[in-house]
Structures are given as structure tokens and as C-alpha cells.
Homo-oligomer: A and B are copies of this chain.
Amino acid sequence: MTAGRFFEDFDVGQELIHATPRTVSAGDASLYLALYGGRFAPQSSVPFAQALGYRSAPLDDWLVFHLIFGKSVPDVSVNAIANLGYAEGQFLAPVYVGDTLRAISTVLGMRENRDGQSGIVYVRTRGLNQDNVCVLSYCRWVMVRKRDPKTPYPVSDVPDLAPYLSPEQLTPPAQAYHSFDPHLSGGNAFWEDYAVGQVIDHGGGTTIEDAEHMMATRLYQNTARVHFDGAFQAQTRFKRRLVYGGHIISIARALSFNGLENAFAVAGLNAGKHIGPIFAGDTVYAASQITDLVPIADRSDVGALRVRQRVTQNVSAEQSFADPEPSACVLDLDLWLWLPRRP
């Protein structure tokens, strides 16, 4: 059995080729739908997607993210204490049923923690399809246990990650959105209809079930023990299984349909933090604040919306935008989204 990498097993510049390649199927898309309930039209309807120029219905962006993330777990975060943050996440090309995804990570930096027990490892993970097209690239940093706390690691090599993607760093989708039909998509608001500062409460919440987060996490072939082994977890300070943080990201995306019905794709993950643990039985709510609104050069059909998306536990998320340090907030995302422009 593979014990997984400890802090000392990483090297800056190291390339990690992750197992296992995965052909994405219609079954994966259906399960994802049943787990989150997404209603964004291009992902739901092949004819709707094809009318925009997609080859077929694209997979939900976060499904792609989780599949790639899952592959990196055995090599990057099996011995992780915490998943600390994300940066520079770029969704670069649509992924379709039948595509085969694989993942590669590069170690960007390392830094030992003061107590000598652990350190922080920074990686860039890239997801590639069967044609070697990079469909996703993102950075994350995790706190990893040291194998031997007595061996100091004197070098500190913290990479210079952008606090957010500038609009120029986004890769506009290759499709054309002039004919995006708001009757079919379920929402009347186009890119022009949002305003910076606006807070959108996405409404009703979702109560988390163990069976659901475990099925989701296995669907991503993410086998981190903390999500599955209840007997082991009972002996930790958490007392029970931890929900994979990505599960909450996908719940937020699905809830965000209420108010962001036409935000058909995620363009970028500027930053993201899993602030607190989530357990089965918790009910989560989501709200978004529009923080920027940028047109795209030479594109009259599509624009980018920057949003702060927050998930709260057992209380409404909308209020979290009034508090400077919202206490019940469990997830805080800074995203770029694509929206069609008003025809």
C-alpha cells in the first residue's frame, strides 16, 4: 500500500504524473446532476449546446475540476492536514462525454512551518484530454505532514501567485452566444443586467447526506480516507466523516442558478478557501456578490462577471456580505463567470 508523499518527498520543479486516466461518460454527467441538481441549459441539453457551437453538451466545469483534483490526491494530499487555497484557476476548453482526462502536477514551491511538523506545498495541476489539450489549470497549496519532524527544511520557496486573474488571462469560449435563448435557459438576466456591488441570495439550501458526499467523492476517484472511514474519523477531533470541500463548491454552483441562470460557464477560479469543515446533516446556503463586470475584446456575445461566492452553514448566505468576518461562512470563492450579452 502506498503511504503517499510526505513533505520531504516533494521537490520544487518536480512533475507528478497522476493515475488513473478517466474516460468521462454520460453516466458521470447524470450522477453529477442527481447529486447537485444543476439546471444550466448548455450542460442540460445537447441541442441547446449545439445551437451555440458546442460539439455536444459540455460537462459542468466543476465536475471537470473534481475529476482532475481527485487524480492529484494520492500524489499530493494523502498526507495533507489541510487544503489551504486555490489560485490562477483557468477553465480552458470544454470537456465532453467520451473525452479521457488525465492530470499532471508541478511542484511550484515549498515552505516548512515553524513548528517543524509540517510544511506547505504549492502545486500547479493541469488536466489534459486525449488530444493533450489542457482543459484546466489551477494552483493549490496544501499543508503536508513531514515524515520526520527532526530534519529541518531550510529553503523557503513560496511562488508568486496572482491574487486574481486579470480579464486578459481568461480564455474566452470558442462558441458564439448571440442566440442564447432566455426562455429555454430559465433566466432573463444577461451580462448587462448585473451591477457591481449587487448581492444575490441564491435561496433555499441543501442538507448534506453522507451517502451523497461519499458517492460524489468516489465519482471523482478521490479516495482520501477522511471522507469515507467513519470508524477512523470517530477517533479524531471531528468525530465524523469530513465532506470533501469540492462537494460544497458544486452545491454552490447548482444553487447559484437562482439569480445567475445564464452564467453558463466558469471562466476562472481567482481564489478559494474552505474555511471550516462540513459534515452530513449540515444545511448549506449560497450567495454571490458581483465584484466586477468586464467586456471581452472583439466579442459582442459574451462578457465576464467576477463574483464572490459564499457558502454558509445553517444560516442564510446573503447576510455574510454585510459582515466583514462572517462567522458561519464555510467556503469563500472568487470566480470569473461567463454570461451571454443581451442580443
- Give A residues with C-beta under 8 Å from B: 1-2, 17-23, 25-31, 33-41, 44-48, 57, 74, 97-98, 100, 102, 130, 183-187, 200-207, 209-212, 214-219, 221, 223, 225, 228-232, 241, 257-259, 261, 281, 283, 314
Contact = CB atoms under 8 A, between A and B. Distances in A.
Nearest to A258: B1
Nearest to A257: B223
A21 B45 contact: yes
B47 A23 contact: yes
Contact of A37 (B26, B27, B221): B221
A200 B1 contact: yes
A33 B1 contact: no
17 contacts: A2-B187, A19-B41, A19-B187, A20-B40, A20-B48, A22-B44, A23-B46, A25-B26, A25-B27, A25-B97, A28-B33, A36-B218, A37-B223, A39-B223, A45-B100, A46-B100, A211-B211
A339 B41 CA distance: 37
A57 B209 contact: no
Contacts of A258: 1-2
Contacts of A259: 1-2
Contacts of A100: 45-47
B31 A27 contact: yes
A187 B19 CA distance: 8
Contacts of A19: 39, 41, 183-187, 261
A1 B212 contact: no
Contact of A203 (B45, B57, B207, B225): B225
Given A2-B187, A21-B48, A27-B27, 12 more contacts: A23-B45, A23-B46, A23-B47, A26-B30, A27-B28, A35-B218, A37-B223, A39-B223, A47-B130, A207-B230, A209-B211, A231-B283
